Amino acid sequence: MGSLDGQRAAITGGASGIGRATARAMATEGATVAVLDVDEAGAKEVAAEIGGHAYTVDVTDFAGVEAALIDASRAMNGLTLLFNNAGVGNIAPLHEYELDEWARIVAVNLTGVFHGFKAGVPLIQSSGGGAIVSTSSISGTRPSAGEAPYSAAKAAVAAITANAALEYGPDIRVNAVAPGMIRTQLTEPLLAGLPHLSDRYIADTPVGRIGEPEDVADLVVFLCSDRARFITGQNIVVDGGMTLHGAGVDGVLADVQRMLGNT
């Protein structure tokens, strides 16, 4: 028996990285999974791999999120788990962010999570309850220069998690995971563009390595399972101990500015 036998889950940003790893882990533990992502091909690929359902969805579009979750709930005979995971980021000095870029980052990372709650909570309630997990970040607890819209949005995700835990208990447990440096599609350009960072992150992380998507996925599965039955309203850091030394991307803005100055 798996820890999620009989559960019916939806994952935003499920086509790659942490979302993909979580979809696989949930399916392995017995859940039926709907994969939501702007990447249509990626969502279909992951869904086919795990015997799930695929939806092409932009989380900033509430009507699209709602329609996808309603259809997924019908297809899976209910919805009991939701993982609000879709996210984007960038690096720039605060006053240099273009208005559209600020709006984009906040819309995906914060409003997209709100859309998941707004569309998903009624479906989970009508299915008898369950659990919701959202992806925040260590950037929301220990911000670095250059990531103001991202860190602000992720800090707000932790706050929304606490609000929702108060509002929807005891039927729905609500938690957030705050990843550190994880090798994903989001972080790969940073690690590839500034190769020295990998050595620094490894040196600054007590467990001695950069995180993998599965490190976060396993925590999400735990929080969605009955093993976490007395845990709600928490923002749980999963960073290998990196933030014991400081913020996650300290100095990266200066590195990027130097690199751009040399091009």
For 65, residues 6+ apart whose C-beta sits below 8 A from its C-beta are: 12, 36, 57, 59, 112, 115, 116, 119
| Order of all β-strands in the sheet with 235-238 | 53-56, 32-37, 8-12, 81-84, 130-135, 172-179, 235-238
Q: Which amino acid is at 88?
A: V
Beta strands 81-84 and 32-37 are unpaired
Q: Could you tell me which residues are beta bridge partners of residue 176? A: 134, 235
Active site residues per annotation: 150
Spatial contact of 179 and 211, defined as CB atoms under 8 Å apart: yes
Closest CA to 67 of 27, 118, 23, 14: 118
Whole-Å CA distances, 179 to 168, 210, 263: 24, 11, 32
Q: Find, among 175, 193, 183, the residue nearest to 232 by Cα.
A: 175
